[in-house]
Amino acid sequence: MSGTVVLRMAVTADAAALASTIAAAFEEYRGKLTPESAAFSETAEAISRELAAGSGAIVAEQDGELLGCVMIKQVDGDLYFGRLAVAPRARGRGIARQLVEAVEHEAHRRGLAGVRLGVRIMLTDNQRLFTSMGYVETSREAHAGFSHPTSISMRKALPTGCVDQPR
């Protein structure tokens, strides 16, 4: 891998690579998250349907190889992102941060007020990343069947005016 990391919007032809990247990235959490992440049952067919229905995804690729991705959808005047995934072989290179910055740029391009996400309470490293990027906790929720919070909702208000292009 010698080329530059390129960020772009996904197309339906990317669905299989998105599903594969999500599966590889989330594998480290198998058996550790309660409840188990729905990412483990993500399929190329389901992703293709989401993309065709108007949800989106941003991919990071290098030399034609998908290194990471993030799913996005517009919700109540904000852009929500989930399934932030970086292939294990590509970690430690700032790709997750670049993908989140690309989500912010896309939200700004659409004229939206902010960006939202949900993160599991036990994923403290992920929470630290999002906090370092200006996201603040807005609420805690319990997944269905749980009496205690299992997830944190976070949001970042976007500044008005011009923002830099993602790297």
pLDDT by residue for the chain (167 residues), tens only, comes to 568 999 999 999 999 999 999 999 999 999 888 888 989 889 999 999 999 998 999 999 999 999 999 999 999 999 999 999 999 999 999 999 999 999 999 999 999 999 999 999 999 999 999 999 999 999 999 999 999 999 999 999 998 755 454 54
**Per the domain annotation, does 54 fall within a domain?**
yes
Structural domain for 56, as ranges: 6-157
Please give the tally of structural domains in the chain: 1
- The rounded radius of gyration (Å) of the Cα atoms in the chain is 15
**Per the domain annotation, does 150 fall within a domain?**
yes
**Per the domain annotation, does 132 fall within a domain?**
yes
Per-residue pLDDT tens over the stretch 91-126:
999 999 999 999 999 999 999 999 999 999 999 999
Scan for tokens 């990247």, then name that residue. Answer: 21
Residues 6+ apart with CB under 8 A from 60: 5, 6, 7, 66, 67, 68, 69, 86, 90, 95, 98, 99, 102
Length of the chain: 167
At residue 161, the 3 state secondary structure works out as coil
pTM over 0.85: yes
**Per the domain annotation, does 162 fall within a domain?**
no
* Spatial CA neighbour of 39 closest among 79, 4, 98, 84: 84
**Per the domain annotation, does 1 fall within a domain?**
no
CATH number of 116's domain? 3.40.630.30
**Per the domain annotation, does 14 fall within a domain?**
yes
